[in-house]
Amino acid sequence: MQTLKKYWAFLLLFIIPVIFQDNYFTSVMVTAVIFAILALSLNIVVGYIGEISFGHAGFFGLGAYTTSLLTLKLGTSFWVGLLGIIIVLGIVGAIIALLALRLKGPYFAIVTLAFAEVMRITILNWDSLTRGAAGLNGIPNPKIFGLSLNSEMSYYALAVIVLLVTFYIIDRLLKSKTGIAFIAIREKEELATSVGINSYYYKVLAFSFSAIIAGISGGLYAHYFQTVTPDNLGIHYTTLPLIMVMVGGRGTLWGPIIGAFIFTLMPEYLRDIGDWRMVIFAVILGLTSIFLPKGITSLGHKFSLRKSV
Amino acid sequence: MSSTDLFIQQIANGLVIGISYALIAIGLTLVFGILDILNFSHGEFYMLGGTVTYVMVDIMNFNYFVSILLVVVVVTIMGMLIQKVAIQPIIEHDQLSVLLVTFAVSLFLINITQIVWGKTPQKVQSPINDTFELGPVVFTYQKLFIILIGFVLLVLLNFYIKKTTTGKMMRAVAQDKIGATVIGVNVKNIYMITFGLAAALAAFAGAIISPTTFVDAYVGQDSILKAFAIVVLGGLGSVPGALLGGILLGIVETITAAFVDSAFKDLTAFLILIMVLLLKPSGLFGRKGV
């Protein structure tokens, strides 16, 4: 029962839009869930192997383009698109990981940025395939078991299920030997290596896995908004999930998800104040990072007597 | 025009862009070398250099050269304030937290500028935008001014870092923070001065380049990505590396655009970076291994 306990919140996630019955709210929630998946993916790199990736927008956008091209050009189903994402992102993620993980810290961060920019600029200029800056439109809503997910509610259900599966896999992974190796590497890489953990291997594994998850969130984005442009590989889609992971609490399972909800819902509902909303967003981000450098989930530890790891 | 002439022309144009890249990258690498942080908001000082110059020259009708000076002074003070208020309080935390604050500063500056500025990109009206011919090269006096003043500034900067007491203190802090504290260097002050100096260089780049290229609230975002590539290429913390990397990239980019395909122009920085890092992980001028 203990292990099931942390899943009760997903029940809440399913119920909330049913209570509100508001299409606009539900569509904001879909976006939040898609970002939560992206943030969970980035958290594997930032929170569990302790490197900063500036390149996740590249994986997010590549995932979106992979499934869009498959469904638009070859007319394949959502499932084939998903499989395509797993294959393409697995390969691209592994190649980038093999090359970039020879570096560390800021060098690693900036080389991942370079890879993402190479992907973005290539997609931007490959007009015949990607239609350049105009992007791809008319990506179909997925059909699952003959059921077309064209309502906000049904797509929301799909997104939450993908989030749940991602959450479950990461949770299991972290409890496995592999997950323990990740954390050992994050805490003290030399020590981990000295007890026989092949840190390069585990880092490549974690990074490739993270790339696949980021690609899947991009795929969900493409099928929901039915449009994808090279901007989806732009730096904005890297900084936003980084903010979500950091402010939510990196290296925790719920932190990135909480961060994703805060930083998707907040700017949406600040729309009333017009141009000032991004300024307020920046101020809130600045204040939380100065006063809560370990993220929102660290509040729980601050106020609880029972200190856990 | 023969292709040799075109080549010389492109080198001259590339040099102009390269100077602005170098000025931006040097500030970024100084902040990394001395404060040990990746400053994501650095491009915004360049953006402010361009946009504030436009406001002064084209809206308030100030003299262009006076405006450059005023803009640099204003942005330097802003930079120092930002360091003191937003970055100093958490500089002892890990790099990621500081990075996040610099995201916040960047978003803040871009959006405030956007509110004041609007969306239209603009070019500053420089009083020296006439063209002249120098052998095969057609040039504007503005571009010549950029190259000359750029080099003067770089020489002065070199003198400042190598010879003045503050410069020596900066280098001491870059080498060993605790050691510098022990011999009486006020590390906090050096942090603030370095940040101000970096902001000044970027603002200067923005102010001198803005008559040759359009500026709006988002130009800093584009420049920061390339500046990151340049500083890693030159070796993080290396001033000569950032200088050479910036100028080289400016030239390679313009030549690629002219002779290969303009679509490849923006790729060059990142492709070169990837190749160099795979061969020599510490960058061209990096001292310590990674």
| Cα gap A134→A125, rounded to integer Å | 11
Confidence tier at B63 by pLDDT (50, 70, 90): very high
Between vectors from CA B265 to CA B261 and to CA B266, what angle results, nearest 5°? 140
- Preferred mutation among B270, B285, B287 to probe A, highest tally of A CBs within 10 A: B270
The helix/strand count (H/E) of chain B reads as 11, 2
The dihedrals phi and psi of B138, each to the nearest 5 degrees, come to -95, 125
Does residue B225 contact residue B135 with C-beta atoms inside 8 Å? Answer: no
* Phi, psi of B64, rounded to the nearest 5 degrees: -60, -45
What is the DSSP code (8-state) at residue B236?
Answer: T
Say if CB A267 and CB A251 are below 8 A apart: no
Note whether A285 contacts B89, CB cutoff 8 Å: no
**Cα-only R_g, chain B:** 19
ipTM score of complex: 0.85
- The pTM of the full predicted model, rounded to 2 decimals, is 0.89
B106 contact residues in A (CB cutoff 8 A) = 282
- The β-bridge partners of B133 are B138
SS3 category, A150: coil
Name the nearest CA neighbour of B52 among B198, B177, B205, B160: B205
Tokens of B270: 């990142």
Q: Which of A16-25, A33-42, B74-83, B236-245 has the lowest mean pLDDT?
A: A16-25
Taking the mean position of all CA atoms in its chain, how far away is CA B22?
6
Beta carbons of A121 and B270 less than 8 Å apart: yes
Q: In terms of C-beta distances under 8 Å and separation of at least 24 residues, what long-range contacts does A12-21 make, across chains too?
A: A13/A160, A13/A163, A14/A157, A14/A160, A17/A152, A17/A153, A17/A156, A18/A153
Q: Following DSSP, what letter does each residue of A43-110 receive, concatenated?
A: HIIIIIS----S-HHHHHHHHHHHHHHHHHHS---HHHHHHHHHHHHHHHHHHHHHHHTTS-HHHHHH
% helix / strand / coil in chain A, to the nearest 5? 75, 5, 20
Please tell me if residue B86 touches chain A, with a CB cutoff of 8 Å. yes
Q: Is B103 close to A122, i.e. CB distance below 8 A? A: no
How many Å apart are CA A216 and CA A85, to the nearest integer? 6
Compute the nearest-CA separation of A171 from chain B (Å).
24
Please check whether residue B117 touches A, CB under 8 A: no
Pairwise CB contact (< 8 Å): B270 & A115: yes
Judged against a pLDDT cut of 70, whether residue B1 lies above it is answered with no
Inform me whether the C-beta atom of residue B273 falls under 8 Å from chain A C-beta atoms.
Answer: yes
Banded model confidence at residue B286, pLDDT cuts 50, 70, 90: low
In sequence order, what are the residues at sequence separation of 6 or more whose Cβ sits closer than 8 angstroms to the Cβ of residue B211? B64, B123, B124, B125, B126, B129, B142
Question: Per the structure block, which two tokens stand in for B43?
Answer: 């491009």
Structure tokens given for B26: 């040097």
- Per-residue pLDDT of chain A in tens (309 residues, 90 and over written 9): 456 667 888 888 888 888 888 888 999 999 999 999 999 999 999 988 888 899 999 999 999 999 999 999 998 888 999 999 999 999 999 999 999 998 888 888 889 999 999 999 999 999 889 998 899 998 988 887 777 788 888 899 999 999 999 999 999 998 888 888 888 888 888 888 888 888 888 899 999 999 999 999 999 999 999 999 999 999 889 989 999 998 898 888 999 999 999 999 988 888 778 778 888 888 888 888 888 877 887 777 655 554 444
Token pair recorded at residue A128: 């015949």
Identity of the residue numbered A294: K
CB contact under 8 A, B95 and A121: no
Average pLDDT, chain B: 91
Q: Which of A48, A92, A117 to mutate to test the interface with B (most CBs of B within 10 A)?
A: A117
Q: How far is A293 from chain B (nearest CA, A)?
A: 6
How far is the C-alpha of A249 from the C-alpha of A257, rounded, in Å?
Answer: 9
Please indicate if any CB of chain A lies within 8 Å of the CB of B266.
yes
Chain A (137-166) residues lying within 8 Å, Cβ to Cβ, of chain B? none
Read off the DSSP letter of residue A140: P
Helix B165-175 and helix B141-163: axis angle, to 10°? 70
